[in-house]
Structure 1
Amino acid sequence: MERDSISPEAEVNVPLELSVEEMIEQSIGVVNWTQILQAVLVSLQTFFDSQQTFISIFAHAQPTWHCTTNNKACTSRSNLCELTKTDWAWDSGNVHTSVISEWNLECTSSVFASMPATSYFVGSLLGGLVLAALGDSSLGRKNLLCISTLVMSLTALASAFSPNIWVYSIFRFLCGIGRAPLAICVLVLVTERVSRKWRPQAVMAGFIFLSLGMMGLTGIAFLNKGASWRSLYIWTSVPGIISSVLCYVFLYESPRWLLMQGREKDAMAVLRALGSITSIGTSLPKINTEQKLPKTNPFISLKILLSRRWAVKRLLASMLLAFGIGVMYFGMFLGVGNLGFDIYLTSVFNASLSLSSYMLAFLWWIQHCNRRSSLLGFCTISGAACIIFSVVGKGHKGVLIGLELTSLFCACMAFNVLLMYMVELFPTCVRNTGSSLVRQAMILGSAFDPMLVLLGNKSIIYSYGTFGLAMLLSGVLALSLPETRGKVLCDTMEEQELMDQERKLIP
């Protein structure tokens, strides 16, 4: 009876309690052209990130050489370092085609010769540890993405004017620091601005640009074949600088992050700009944001993340898993010169294979398959295939190609699933920090790849054997992580704990 006494007008005026997830689903549940263009603009930054990550394939390539005397000790299979300088010469008359030939690194130790490439990945590791939390606190996703692209591109441009390997390594280190938060910012920003239904397709755009970036790099390298390696940095860095400016002018911030910062009006403005329903309301509903991050401490999100025992366990397991995948994934691309095939053709083929894996992963696999079992399966197959063909060696090219393609495809699929998985493992208040730490573990694994690739010039078991072993061992850790397919993205640690308790994942 009391229910019947309440007028319809009174019911309408009762304030509704909305979560951030409900607000997102209500306002941008249907994809429109604004959301598509914003996703493309965000994802475009991975195009330039990919080029700077894999540019060492061509800039640091070992040039081909030929004998210049009738010395019987000089043959195509001779050890270059055991010959005198007068017995051989580079096939290209231009010694500036590679860092190796310009600075006479062909006979130096693997540690010294790989120093510029390793410096890049070490910079990425340190930069991620320092800058990751800024995306959750003071800077936000958009500003951190723009700064990351700009710093990466400017230092890449400066690399083109390096007078020696020491200065060059410093610029590569700074470039790595700059690009460290880029990939995570893209992933988080795209994920947080679309509804749950369209999340995999939106994320896929970043991976497509990642493959296109590598293809573009291969094309630039082929067109500049025989020219200085410095031209590669100029052609790949200038467009990145322009892109960072366009991002700053036209890109919208994540409405989830704005809400967690208490900027409800700004968040509603973004939701109206992105949403298919333009009239969300003239007054702001009451939104649950119990865990807003203090602006005075940019690293408070890290403290919040480490304050929960379940979060620390989840973080450590996902980081160790990412480490093994990082060793394998980046090593497979950087080590194409060890296989004895044309690096331009092989790079294009590898990029095409990774592109097909992205399409499969985000158009079908992620929507229909569990994260844990997928990671376990792909890591096992990829690691085992890599170990087998590293033992078989270069003498069986047919077997080598088949196993290499199988291993690479499964490594790409594991990489795809992991990047989607780590965004879903952590709530909004610490998502950028948690995802970045997992990403940094992946970068730590890749930091060993340049040296392993150079060791692989002697025997591929040193490179690909190590890649496969790391992948095989790390895949088991997927079993210790919770399944997240089809689950909502929680916003606070309390919401995540409540959901996990309901699923009996934590006591």
Structure 2
Amino acid sequence: MDYEDAVSFLGRWGVFEKTVFVLLSLSVISNGYVGIAMVFLADIPPHRCRLPLNHSFPLEEVKGVLMLSRCSRYKQGGGFHGNQTEGCVDGWVFGSERYSSTIVTEWSLVCEDGWKAPFTMTVFFLGILGGSCLSGYLSDRHGRRVAFFVSMAIQTVFSVVQAASTSWEMFCVMYFIVAMGAIAKYCCGFILGFELLTSRARILFGAIGIPYAYALGYTVLPLFAWSIRSWRWLLLALSLPGLLYVPLWWYIPESPRWLLAQGRIEEAELILRAAAKKNGVMAPEVIFKVEDVGLIQKAESGPTDRHSYSWLDLVRTSNIRNMMSINVILWIVISMTYYGMSLNTPNMDGDPYINCMVSGATEFVSYSVMWFVMLYAPRRALLPSSLLLSGLLLLLLKTLPDDLSEVTVVLVMLGKTLVTGAFCFLYLYSLELFPTVVRNMALGALSMASRIGSTVAPYIAYIGTYNKLLPYILMGGASVLAGLLSLLLPETKDQELPDLIPHTKPLVR
């Protein structure tokens, strides 16, 4: 008997499964806006030097337009024809047409301190990296449920503290901790849902529940930002919904799989009996026999020789090494492009609130279309076509005249839709490419590699404040190259997953 056989009396889609599905999916909504919120929290309003009497501004070219300098002024008596300039020694004057305040206006993160705004987002992604490393250890050591709620509390509490930051440095430290809590909550919730749900519900949870909840958070963000123009109150409004998750403690149980792995059979049976009661079915008198638990644990742990494999096996043989190298590049490029386009929303033509909402709504389209196409299209054709088409659409922006701003927005959103779908698909494809004995290590390494792309993305978006087309040229060119490189990967659709390294399919020559 394995675990799935032991809990088959629960059925496939009862009240218990629906409750777990909905509540754990809803917990991901905040992940959809916790990072992208920087689009509004750190937007750079129009600004100029604060001028005393008898001062004037030099001219500078920004995005191809000649305008008054934002970072310098003529010295007193220098006049328009003098060449003696100085920085904004008396501070800046910021426009308030769109925001009453952002962290940029709060701490004057412009000109020589302009690097600090994108670096704030880099700090967030470094926190994501740290949280990704810790979440697995915490959930394995202390339980999925405990780790899930502790990380949720960390995200909520430190988000509130972040809203009260008294300096940019304090804001960054809080953001790092918030990022760790957010990704740990996401990972622990994902694992908890997979282990609580049965096979059919598990597929829906990973393909529909989690992605749709993330997209919902992304989509509602501009509604909050449009209503609340102060960064402190906006951040507080985005943080407080975390308190609504407190009652989940009484509705989300611990993973019976994890309890069995710890030898806590009675606790696992109590949870399953409560689940059976919710589903209106009768649980057997004995769910797990002591002699069966050892067999279940052995089945769950996989091949007994997998512990003999290490990270070196990802580069030891030429086939796995080449496969890994290509995937590292793909994960970096796709992550950079996805977050670069998401964070570049304020630099696009048109209203940033509408652009952000449309960008979030494209996520629903991406996940739905990709899930449908994956059922029928070859794996090897899906990733190259998504990346190549997305890259070509972004490169096409260079040829459009400036007066076709609506067409520009449409092409950007189509490119964003394709990249989002490619990002979603890449998780599945990578799992199918690598053998069982190194699959978890490969996915962990690739996930860490993707953080390289995400930490670069804020600076890609920052370039857009000076040249609105250059970010799209960089991301489009990288996507085209990644799409061509992905043509080397083998087909995996409807094929048996490789178990050992010699079973791995070779690259296409």
Q: Same fold (TM over 0.5)?
A: yes
Please point out which of 216, 232, 239 is paired with 1:212.
216
Q: 1:338 to 1:279 in 2, by over 3 A?
A: same
Q: In structure 1, list runs of 5 or more residues that go unmatched.
A: 1-17, 294-300, 489-495
Q: 1:274 to 1:504 in 2, by over 3 A?
A: farther
Normalised TM-score (structure 1): 0.78
AA in 2 matched with 1:30: R
Q: Which moved more, 1:69-78 or 1:388-397?
A: 69-78
In the other structure, the counterpart of 1:117 is 121
d(CA) in 2 for partners of 1:483, 1:240? 40
In the other structure, the counterpart of 1:30 is 12
Correspondence 1:127-276 to 2 at 5 A: 127-135=131-139, 137-203=140-206, 204-225=208-229, 228-243=230-245, 245-274=246-275
The C-alpha deviation readout for 1:45-99, integer Å capped at 9, x for no partner, is 2211222111100000111458999969679843422447699843318986111
Q: 1:273, CA displacement in angstroms?
A: 4.5
Q: 1:94 to 1:393 in 2, by over 3 A?
A: closer
d(CA) in 1 for partners of 2:223, 2:214? 14
Provide the secondary structure at the position in 1 that maps to 2:466.
Answer: coil
d(CA) in 1 for partners of 2:440, 2:489? 22
Q: 1:216, CA displacement in angstroms?
A: 2.4
Q: 1:264 to 1:205 in 2, by over 3 A?
A: same
The answer to whether the 8 Å contact 2:135/2:187 transfers is no
d(CA) in 2 for partners of 1:188, 1:110? 39
Q: 1:347 to 1:202 in 2, by over 3 A?
A: same
d(CA) in 2 for partners of 1:35, 1:365? 27
In the other structure, the counterpart of 2:81 is none
d(CA) in 2 for partners of 1:302, 1:152? 34
Q: 1:161, CA displacement in angstroms?
A: 1.4
Q: Which moved more, 1:365-374 or 1:304-313?
A: 304-313
Q: 1:350 to 1:504 in 2, by over 3 A?
A: closer
Provide the secondary structure at the position in 1 that maps to 2:141.
Answer: coil
Q: 1:421 to 1:274 in 2, by over 3 A?
A: farther
Q: 1:291, CA displacement in angstroms?
A: 7.1
Correspondence 1:325-404 to 2 at 5 A: 325-362=334-371, 364-389=372-397, 392=400, 394=402, 396-404=404-412
Which structure has more relative contact order (CA 8 Å, sep 6+)? It is: 1
AA in 2 matched with 1:39: F
AA in 2 matched with 1:186: G
In the other structure, the counterpart of 1:306 is 311
The C-alpha deviation readout for 1:77-135, integer Å capped at 9, x for no partner, is 43422447699843318986111122112213553332211111112112323433433
d(CA) in 1 for partners of 2:491, 2:267? 34
In the other structure, the counterpart of 2:83 is none
Q: 1:209, CA displacement in angstroms?
A: 1.4
d(CA) in 1 for partners of 2:225, 2:299? 49
d(CA) in 2 for partners of 1:409, 1:20? 38
Provide the secondary structure at the position in 2 that maps to 1:105.
Answer: coil
In the other structure, the counterpart of 2:24 is 42
Q: 1:36, CA displacement in angstroms?
A: 1.6
d(CA) in 1 for partners of 2:435, 2:160? 37
In the other structure, the counterpart of 1:12 is none
Q: 1:116 to 1:48 in 2, by over 3 A?
A: same
The C-alpha deviation readout for 1:472-506, integer Å capped at 9, x for no partner, is 34443485477366979xxxxxxx627x87x7749
Correspondence 1:51 to 2:33: yes
In the other structure, the counterpart of 1:10 is none
Q: Which moved more, 1:380-389 or 1:368-377?
A: 368-377
The C-alpha deviation readout for 1:167-193, integer Å capped at 9, x for no partner, is 211111222222233333333333343
d(CA) in 1 for partners of 2:196, 2:378? 23
Sequence identity (%)? 22
Q: 1:398, CA displacement in angstroms?
A: 4.2
d(CA) in 2 for partners of 1:247, 1:393? 52
Correspondence 1:273-312 to 2 at 5 A: 273-274=274-275, 278-280=282-284, 282-284=286-288, 286=292, 287-290=295-298, 306=311
Q: In structure 2, list runs of 5 or more residues that go unmatched.
A: 60-64, 75-87
In the other structure, the counterpart of 2:79 is none
The answer to whether the 8 Å contact 2:331/2:446 transfers is yes
The answer to whether the 8 Å contact 2:387/2:422 transfers is yes
Q: 1:349 to 1:302 in 2, by over 3 A?
A: farther
Q: 1:159, CA displacement in angstroms?
A: 1.2
AA in 2 matched with 1:229: W
AA in 2 matched with 1:306: W
How large is the Cα RMSD of the aligned pairs? 3.9
The C-alpha deviation readout for 1:361-385, integer Å capped at 9, x for no partner, is 34x3344445443223212222232
The answer to whether the 8 Å contact 1:292/1:429 transfers is no
Normalised TM-score (structure 2): 0.78
In the other structure, the counterpart of 2:96 is 92
